Amino acid sequence: MGSPEIERDEPVTPAGRLFLRPEMDQIINCVIGAKNPFEVDAVKKEMANSMMLKHPRFCSLMVRDRHGREYWRKTEIEIDRHFIILNDSLDGDDDEDAVNGYLADLAVSSPLSTDKPLWEIHFLTAHKCAVVRIHHALGDGISLMSLLLACFRRSDCPDQLPTMGSSSQPKPRNSRRRNRLWELLNIAWFTLVFVVEFILRSLWVKDRKTTVSGGAGVELWPRKLATAKFLLDDMKTVKNAIPNGTINDVLFGVISAGLSRYLDHRSPNKLQEGIQITGVAMVNLRKQPGLQEMAELMQSKSGSRWGNKFGMLLLPVYYHKGLVDPLDYIKKAKTMIDRKKQSLEAYFSYKIGYFVMNFLGSKIACVLNYRIVCNTTFTISNVLGPREEITIVGNPVTYIRANSTGLPHAITMHMVSYAGRADLQILVAKDIIPDPKFLAKCFEEALLEMKEAAAEATSRS
């Protein structure tokens, strides 16, 4: 009889090691609102049999060897240690205020314990929601949303999983045949320009200081959190008014218009027209855009394998003092995004990070990434959620929102769409941006103005 096979520790991926550095320690907080308070025992039973707890990352400890190298070590899950139940009401004017205040506190003061796998769920019973906390070393937003949705069911078809939408848009069949040489030249040129800019941002080039700028050490400052709420139909109305427009074009147009409006309020007549405000965005590099089928993500040899597989893009928006046509914000954003799409910046940023992690170590990689964040102004992400309404253990889900722990940015923004709505979580350093609700209102009003302008443009055509 052979001896039992010894399960070896698995090295943490380079991107995972980066997120475990103290300076870049990142936890994703996903809050799930429900129609009724969660029945914790029912959720516990569902989770115990879910794909989530069958995944090796969610039943492994993060350990370090004597050289400080990080590994995943399989362990037995004690599910009760991962469930935190709070029955008392939290301070706040309403449920949204109370939950956002709780999330803001988690963003700076509650690391995950390393004596258990790096995830936990907080049940806020009085506010009918649950906060799923997962360390970024376990995976990126696409991986984690895919895994999370595998625990849910559609409201209209309780036996079916939620629809995992795609952000891709079909391209004309002959689009790649036309001007192939010119297209290759554009790719080469824009890649060169943007990769050089990316490298310079990791060294010394930085945004000009404004009233929304962060900097080194700001990741430790107290936070506030507000929610900007959009209807996807409104975003689609605006998108359809822009030739070949996308939801991301609309989002960045809204960010540009909203930040311009907020800066006018905070520092009127003090900013130069057209000043650049640079955002950092994480871009999915898997072959299939959008949410990934779990079976494919679980296959280690798949091109869509589980983990952190994203590149970094620098996405500038510009301050403008009241453009005559609100749609001009989107047109300018679209021009910038289209150029980024023609480059390989995200791919090269991923490869540069991989090279630095493997050959220079996590400390140098962390310093370079930290400098990029310090030299820019905000973080932005956009993750596609379920198209239809969903339930968990029969309890209808009313919203899905996400944010991460603090970065040196004074503003981090994360948008998640769900059943025709899109909620943008705006996490701010409250000593720099004391009024995030007003900032959220600036974004919401910007979209409504764009919707009116789009309706007028459609009626004239």
Positions marked active-site: 136
- Give the span between the Cα atoms of 273 and 295, in whole angstroms: 50
Provide the β-strand partners of residue 27: 135
How many residues are present in the chain?
Answer: 461
Burial class of residue 78 (count of CB atoms within 10 Å of its CB; 0-12, 13-18, 19+)? exposed
Q: Nearest Cα to 46, choosing from 151, 155, 162, 133?
A: 151
Q: Are 358 and 338 in contact (CB under 8 A)?
A: no
- Give the span between the Cα atoms of 129 and 150, in whole angstroms: 18
- Give the span between the Cα atoms of 209 and 371, in whole angstroms: 15
Structure tokens at 127: 């506010």
Provide the β-strand partners of residue 402: 30
Q: Nearest Cα to 402, choosing from 420, 386, 383, 389?
A: 383
Structure tokens at 287: 């072959």
At 449, the amino acid letter reads E
Ramachandran quadrant class, 361 (left: phi over 0; alpha: psi -120 to 50; beta: rest): left
Per DSSP, the three-state class of 224 is strand
Report the chain's C-alpha Rg in angstroms: 22
- Give the span between the Cα atoms of 87 and 105, in whole angstroms: 18
- List, as own/partner pairs, every contact residues 188-194 make where C-beta atoms lie below 8 angstroms and the sequence separation is at least 24, other chains included: 190/339, 190/340, 190/342, 190/343, 190/345, 191/343, 191/344, 191/345, 191/348, 193/343, 194/314, 194/339, 194/340, 194/343, 194/345
Provide the β-strand partners of residue 318: 276
